[in-house]
Amino acid sequence: MPSWGASELEVIIPIRLRYDEHKTVIHLPEDAPPPLDAATMNPMQKALVQGMRFRDAIEAGEAKSVSDLARKARMERVFLFHSLELTNLAPDIIRAIVDGDVPDGLTLKRLRHGITDDWDKQRREFGFQ
C-alpha cells in the first residue's frame, strides 16, 4: 500500500465557485459525468457506493469495527468486508466503475475474490494496463 506524507498528495476538484448575490454556488464543469442514480446503477457501482458508505460510517465512529457495522447493517461480515475492500481500489479504477467504463471481464464477482493494496498490480490484474 502506498505510504503518503502530507505533501505527497494533491487533490484537484474541477469546480467553479460563483456568487449569485445571495450565496456562493458550486458549478461543475460541463463535461462532468451525471450523478449516479440508484435506479440505473449496475451491481459494481452499487457495491462501490455501499462500500464507501460503510467506510464513512466506520470513520465517523458510527460503528466500532467491521463486525459491529455488519451487525448494525444486518448483513454477513464477509459481504460487508468485500464491499469495504472496493474503496481501496486505485482512483482511476474507481472512476472507471463510476463511469461504467470497465474492461471486459472485470466483474463484481472477480473483485470480490480479493484486491491487492498495490494500485499498479490492480491495474494489471483488472485489465487497465
Percentage, residues of the chain above pLDDT 90: 32
At 107, the pLDDT band (50, 70, 90 cuts) reads: very high
- 35 in a structural domain: no
DSSP state of 17: E
In the predicted structure, residue 53 carries a pLDDT above the cut 60:
yes
Query: Which residues have a Cβ under 8 Å from the Cβ of 67 and sit 6 or more positions away?
Result: 77
The confidence score (pLDDT) of residue 59 equals 87
List the domain range (segments joined by +) for residue 108. Answer: 43-129
Q: Is 89 exposed, middle or buried (0-12, 13-18, 19+ CB in 10 A)?
A: buried
Give a yes or no: residue 3 inside a domain.
Answer: no
Q: How confident is the model at residue 118 (pLDDT cuts 50, 70, 90)?
A: very high
- In a domain, residue 84? The reply is yes
pLDDT value for 32:
66
Higher pLDDT, 79 or 122: 122
User: Does the residue 107 lie in any domain?
Assistant: yes
- Decide if 14 contacts 28 (C-beta within 8 A): yes
User: Is residue 126 one of the residues assigned to a domain?
Assistant: yes
Q: What are the cell numbers at 18? A: 460563483
What percent of the chain is modeled with pLDDT above 70?
A: 84
Q: Which residues contact 125 (CB under 8 A, 6 or more apart)?
A: 116
Among the residue ranges 79-83, 106-110, 119-123, the one predicted with the least confidence is: 79-83
pLDDT score of 1: 42
pLDDT at site 73? 87
Q: For residue 70, is it within any domain? A: yes
Query: How many angstroms separate the most distant Cα atoms in the chain?
Result: 52
Strand partners, 27: 16
All three cell numbers of 63: 460503528
Q: Domain count of the chain?
A: 1
Strand partners for 18: 25
